[in-house]
Amino acid sequence: MMFTTHTSSYAKVQFFQRQAASLLLYQSVLENDVGRSFLHLLQTIRYADADGRDCLQAYGLYFQSLAITGQNWEQFLIQQILWADNPLTKLAQKQEFSQLPPALVAAARHDLQILQSLYECNSAVLSEWVQNAAHLPVSPVVWYQESKQENFITFIANLDNWGDAVENLAAYYHKHGTGLFAKYLAFMWQKGKLLGIDDIDLVKIDTLVGYEWQKQALVKNTEFLLAGEKALHVLLYGSRGSGKSSLVKSLINQYGHKQLRLIEIAKSELRDLPQIIQQLRGVPQKFIIFVDDLSFEEDDDNFKAMKVVLEGNLTAKPDNMVVYATSNRRHLIREYFEDRPTPKDHEEVHGWDTMQEKLSFSDRFGLTLTFAAADQPTYLQIVKHLANAAEINIPSDELEYQALQWATRHNGRSGRTARQFIDFLKADLVLSKNVRNNDINH
C-alpha cells in the first residue's frame, strides 16, 4: 500500500497498526523480539510525548533487536514468513496445494498482502517518523546490513502482489518444512519441549581420523534415511574418547543442507520419546534422535520407552527418523552377579529368560558399530592430522614424542586425548611466539 504525500504520519501509523492487528494466520511473524519492538515503536510514535523520549527509547530497542538478527527489516519479515508455523503451513507440509482448504488459502492471501504493506514500513521510514515526533534536527541512524539473500526471499520481495505467492509458498513449505524444523539444524529436548540450538558444534566429518569402516557404515545408513529408504537404529559403543559422539554430530554439518536434523535427548527424559516421535510424523525433514552415553539401571522406566521405539508397537514408526545412541557399555543394562539365576531361586521360574532379555537389549539396534581403544599408530595418525589442520609446524619426531608423553600423563590414547593435546600445543606455541616478539620489540 503506497501513500500520497499529503497523508499524515499519524494516519499512516494508525493504518499499519490496524493492518498488523488484522492478521489471520501469520501472527507469528510479529511474535518475536523484532516484531514486538516494531509494534511498540508504532504505538509510541502515534502517542508521542512532548519531547519524544519514549519514541527515542522505542526506536533504540527496535534498532538493537534488528541488529541482533543481522538482517534488515525487509529480509527479516520475509524470513519469518518462511518459518511461520500455522494451520496452513502445517497442512502444506503434508498435502498438495490443490488439497488445501480454500478458506486457509484465502486467509493466507489476505495476510500476505498485509505483510507486504508492513514490509514497506522499513527502518528508514520509521527513522523519519521518529525524527518528526522527537523534533530532532536529523533522523536517527538507520539499521542496514548487506547480506546474501535466499533466492526465495528475493522472489517474494520482487512480487507486485504477495498474495500471488501462496501456491509457491505452499510448495516451499512442502519441501523445506516450517517452524523450528525449518529454522534450526539441531535441537535439545528439555522439560517436554524442543529447543532449537543456535550455535551448534559443526564438527567436520573429514577431521575425524581412524575408525574408517565405522564412519562409512554410519554415513551409508544416514544416506538411506535421507533417500527415504529403511534406515537402521545404530548403537555406537566402545572406549571413551574415541569420537563416537563427534561422528554423530558431524552428520549435521555434512547433511544439514539435505534436510537432516538432530535431536539430542538425555537419558533421564527418554520416557518422552513417543511424544517426540509424534511431532516428527509427516514433516519433510529427516531426524536422528541422539542419545549420548546410554545405559540403564534395572527396572528403569526409560528402558521400557526406548524398547518400544526400537521394537515398535501398534503405532508405526515414522520413516523419517532413526535412533543413534552411544555407550561405553556393550550391554546397556547393568547386570550384577546376584542377578544370575541359581537353583535356589524361588522367585522366578524362568530367571535365565529375564537375564537374556537384559543382555539382548543392545541387539535391538539394527547396526552396532564398535570403537576399540586407539593403538599407538592410530593415535599418532590422529595427532598428525589434527596438527596439519591447526597449521602446527614442528618436526615430526618432536610432535610424536610430545603426543605420546601427553597420552601417558593424561587420559591414554584416544581421539579426545589427541584433540586436547593439539589444542594445548597450539595455544602454547602461539603464546611462546608472542612472548618472543614482545622481547624483540623491547
Spell out the domain ranges in the chain.
9-179, 186-205+213-370, 376-441
Each residue's pLDDT tens digit, 262-285: 999 988 888 888 888 888 988 899
pTM of the predicted model as reported, rounded to 2 decimal places: 0.77
C-alpha dihedral over 104, 110, 113, 115, to 10 degrees? -70
The three cell numbers of residue 64 are 538493537
Q: Tally the residues of the chain.
A: 442
Contact residues for 106 (Cβ-Cβ < 8 A; gap 6+): none
What is the DSSP annotation of 415-434?
A: HHHHHHHHHHHHHHHHHHHH
CB 292 within 8 A of CB 326: yes
What sign does the CA torsion over 432, 434, 437, 439 have?
A: negative
pLDDT tens for each residue of the chain, 442 residues long: 333 333 467 889 999 999 999 999 999 999 999 999 999 999 999 888 878 899 999 999 999 999 999 999 999 999 999 999 999 999 999 889 999 999 999 999 999 999 999 999 999 999 999 998 888 999 999 998 876 667 888 999 999 999 999 999 999 999 898 989 999 999 999 888 999 998 887 778 877 777 888 999 999 999 999 999 989 999 998 877 778 888 999 999 999 999 999 999 988 888 888 888 888 988 899 999 999 888 755 556 666 667 767 766 545 578 899 999 888 765 544 544 444 555 544 454 444 444 444 445 566 788 989 888 778 888 888 888 888 888 888 888 999 899 999 988 887 888 888 888 988 998 988 888 776 776 666 6
321 sits in the region (left: phi over 0; alpha: psi -120 to 50; else beta) called beta
Question: Which is nearest to 211 in space by CA: 45, 378, 5?
Answer: 378
The three cell numbers of residue 425 are 600445543
- CATH class of the structural domain 186-205+213-370: alpha beta
